Amino acid sequence: MEMRAFGHLRSVTWARRCLLGAVRPISRTEAVPVEAAFGRVAASTLRAPRPVPSFARATWDGYAVRPRDTLRASARSPVRLRVVGEVFAEQRFARTVGPGEAVAIATGGAMPRGASGVVIFEEVRRAGTKIDVPHPVRPGDRVAPPGDDFPRGARLVARGAVLDPAALGAVAATGRRTVPCFARPVVAVVPNGNELVAPGGPSRPGAIYESNNATLSAVVAAYGGIPRLYPPVPDEPEVLRRTLAEALRRSDIVLATGGSSVGEHDLLPRVLPQLGRLLFHGIAVRPGKPTLAAAADRGLLLGLPGHPSSCLANSFWLVGPVLQRLARRPGPPWTDVAVRLGAGELEASPTLTTVVPLCLRGGRAYSTYHGSSSISSMAGAQGFALLPPGGRPVRAGQRVVGHWLPAPLGPPLAAFGSSLG
């Protein structure tokens, strides 16, 4: 068995910046039906093509009146008007309202010509076709003018914004059925290693079930991508090269897992340079050191360690930010909040940056970690700390800066407990 040593190890900051500089935000767009566009990223700024509403409408159930008729109205001496018709939401009153006339109108109804104020149903006394109005009604009372919700040209949605319920309501209110959105990036996930068996398949002695597809598909989905999962590729350089080349053609980024270190059977360091320009191999981080990347014409290839928690830890500080940029999701890749360590002790490596996966409960952070080969090391992790090389240990009760992941990977607000507000 032969091994080479890693060459120059890159810092976590350098490696992340390098990849963020190399990844191209997705440019494909698609028309997404309004009712399926929640959480998607808008690809165009949308403006109201016409005022919404397009007509003056009543904002209350009542009577549309001519304000000048009510100028002298008072509780003692109400003004009597004649109800000459009614307007429900979809109706229009055919003629102009004349002096001494009123039209019953429902909330949302189009104001009849001539009438410019509404008196509330409960405020008048009605007898037959007559109503008594007990106070003056001013023009515009209980009336939303045309364009009250959106004047023509008002911005409904900004390019790059994540679509929320109100934005989608605004789009629908202007009559649009679809929203132009950036396509969700397709993220290929390609495991390699003879020892790997896909879940559901029969086990073999010495074999292990492939689990990075499961964790990475979750991370990809969390950042708005579409995972495209490959079955484990055997340790044959040419098969791996062909598979990765195909994955690159059919996706926006390729995450290859396993065989990323410097051993004889670690194929990624041999194969990736055949597909693109090697950006780096080896990061001064624990876990996650055996990580490499290559930039091809069609997109990025990342080689991630096969150890499940190394792979997932990398996805917190390295892969997530890259996917976020690729998918054009706004906001910081994480939010720094210093909290106290709830238990145990976090120990820094003398030479490497240490990534400590953290969960947050009651405003205190707890490490979930106990070794890179165990996926249980990441159970419940919602963020991470980065301990600098040679740093002092962090003990229970001391403060540690947590880099808390964005939703849906990060902690719920309630986990911050009393450290909020």
Judged by CB under 8 A, does residue 351 bind a copy of itself? no
Binding mask 138-167 for a copy of itself (x = CB under 8 A): ------x---xxx---x--------xxxxx
Judged by CB under 8 A, the stretch of 19-27, 189-197, 270-278, 343-351 that binds a copy of itself is 189-197
Instruction: Rank residues 18 and 262 by Cβ distance to a copy of itself and give the closer one.
Output: 262
Measured distance between the N- and C-terminal CA atoms of the chain, rounded to whole angstroms: 57
CB of 115 to a copy of itself, least distance (A): 15
Among the listed ranges 12-20, 21-29, 268-276, 301-309, the one in contact with a copy of itself (CB under 8 A) is 301-309
Total residues at interface with a copy of itself (CB under 8 A): 120
| Sheet-wide strand order for 125-127 | 117-120, 62-65, 101-105, 79-87, 130-133, 125-127
Task: Please report how close the Cβ of residue 58 comes to a copy of itself at its closest, in angstroms.
Answer: 9
Q: Which residue's CB is nearer to a copy of itself, number 92 or number 277?
A: 92
Name 215's Cβ contacts closer than 8 Å, sequence gap at least 6: 308, 311, 312, 315, 375, 378
CB of 347 to a copy of itself, least distance (A): 17
Count Cα atoms within 13 angstroms, Cβ side, for 2: 3
Q: How many CB atoms lie within 10 A of CB 367?
A: 22
52: β partners: 150
As measured in angstroms, the least distance from the Cβ of 301 to a copy of itself is 21
Nearest distance from residue 205's CB to a copy of itself, in Å? Answer: 6
Within 8 A by CB and 6+ apart from 77, the residues are: none
Q: Measured between alpha carbons, how far is 403 from 333 in angstroms, rounded to an integer?
A: 9
**Contact criterion met (CB below 8 Å) for 278 and 294:** yes
CB of 231 to a copy of itself, least distance (A): 12
- The stretch among 9-17, 22-30, 191-199, 343-351 that binds a copy of itself (CB under 8 A) is 191-199
The sign of the dihedral angle between the CA atoms of 341, 405, 388, 8 is positive
Contact between 41 and a copy of itself per CB under 8 A: no
What string marks each residue from 320 to 349 as x (binds a copy of itself by CB under 8 A) or -?
A: -----------xx--x-xxx----------
State in angstroms the smallest separation of the CB of 309 from a copy of itself.
8
If one asks whether residue 14 binds a copy of itself (CB under 8 A), the answer comes out as no
Choose, by CB under 8 A, the member of 11, 44, 59, 274 that binds a copy of itself. Answer: 59
114: left (phi > 0), else alpha (psi -120 to 50), else beta?
Answer: left
Alpha-carbon distance of 159 to 181, in angstroms, equals: 9
